[in-house]
Amino acid sequence: MKTTQLDQSTADPNAQPCIGVFDSGVGGLSVLRALHLRLPLAPMVYVGDVSHAPYGERPVAQVLDRCERIVGYLQEQGARIIVVACNTATVLGISHLRRQWPTLTFVGVEPGIKPAAAHSRTRRIAVMTTPTTAASERLRQLIADHAVGFLVHVVPCHGLATVIERGTIRGPGLLDALRPFCDRVREADVDTLVLGCTHYSFVADTIRSLLGEEVNLIDTASAIAARVASLWSGSGAVTDAVAVVRVRSTGSIDTMRLLLALCPGLLETAVERLAI
């Protein structure tokens, strides 16, 4: 792992201060949606690293390299707060990014084990997540910190983020992709399911239809948005300038457009390609 500190204040001094948000692809738009609902006047720049998704099935060194490039770009664009809108990148890389950019504020997205434990009456919880997050020390630690005495059934969902990344967010193709994972959740007889990947928020209704209304779904997007709102209002970066949300993709823009159409207030947002 590199030790060179990358925080060289490369931000364009004329850049409007903004909130940077990134994910391996389209999943983080579920977090951007919650952020924009909470902070409709805040400028934001979103990067979906579509050409490198899914992170959850790539070597750690490559994910860290991609995260560094994206954070460098977001800093140039004026980002003061960076939301790592990807559980996989958070568990693999947020500590590394904090060390590399000590003057930026990073907010990560992690599987909501704590709220799940607070909601569960039967003390039986499942977590659907990428294989990398499922195998991570950070998830093990979250369970040890917040769910002692609970059964926590972790379901690694190999390939599911890719299905969503391709734009399959409803219909028979999605049902076929989800069924094996939801079957494992049902067999575990839980009352609470953590959506431990930001992509899965866009298919929450179909997951609910497969599991039944009695299983509570936990998505941390609005809790993250509340946290970012409090940091943003205390950052001194809030201005009267007209806020713009900019969305960038390092690959295809088709699924981004499809999912932005599901985000109130962001329906008309243009998506531009970004080569980094």
Catalytic residue list: 86, 197
Q: H-helix or E-strand containing 21? A: strand 18-23
CA pair distance 229, 152, nearest whole angstrom: 31
Q: Does 252 bind ligand DGL (CB under 6 A)?
A: no
- C-alpha–C-alpha distance, residues 12 and 92, integer Å: 28
Q: Decide: is 24 part of the binding site for ligand DGL (CB under 6 A).
A: yes
How far is it, in rounded angstroms, from Cα 178 to Cα 218? Answer: 17
Task: Please tell me the distance from the alpha carbon of residue 208 to that of residue 186, in angstroms, as a whole number.
Answer: 11
Helix, strand, or coil (residue 260): helix
**112 scored as a contact of ligand DGL (CB under 6 A):** no
Is residue 249 involved in binding ligand DGL (CB under 6 A)? no
Among 75, 100, 192, 198, contact with ligand DGL (rule: CB under 6 A)? 198
Is 33 near ligand DGL (CB under 6 A)?
A: no
Which of 44, 78, 81, 88 is close enough to bind ligand DGL by CB under 6 A? 88
Q: Any contact of residue 86 with ligand DGL (CB under 6 A)?
A: yes
Nearest to 255 by CA among 204, 199, 207: 199
State both tokens at 198: 């930001």
Minimum CB distance to ligand DGL smaller for 101 or for 200: 200
Number of residues assigned to the chain: 276
What gap in Å lies between CA 112 and CA 265, rounded to an integer? 26
For position 219 contacting ligand DGL by CB under 6 A, the verdict is no
**Which CB sits closer to ligand DGL, 20 or 56?**
56
Q: What is the dihedral of CA 172, 173, 175, 177, to 10 degrees?
A: 160
Q: Residue 23, interface with ligand DGL (CB under 6 A)? A: yes
- Site residues for ligand DGL, 132-161, by CB under 6 A, read 133, 161
Among 17, 19, 22, 27, indicate the residue that binds ligand DGL (CB under 6 A): 27
Binding site for ligand DGL (CB under 6 A): 23-24, 27, 53-56, 86-88, 130, 133, 161, 197-199
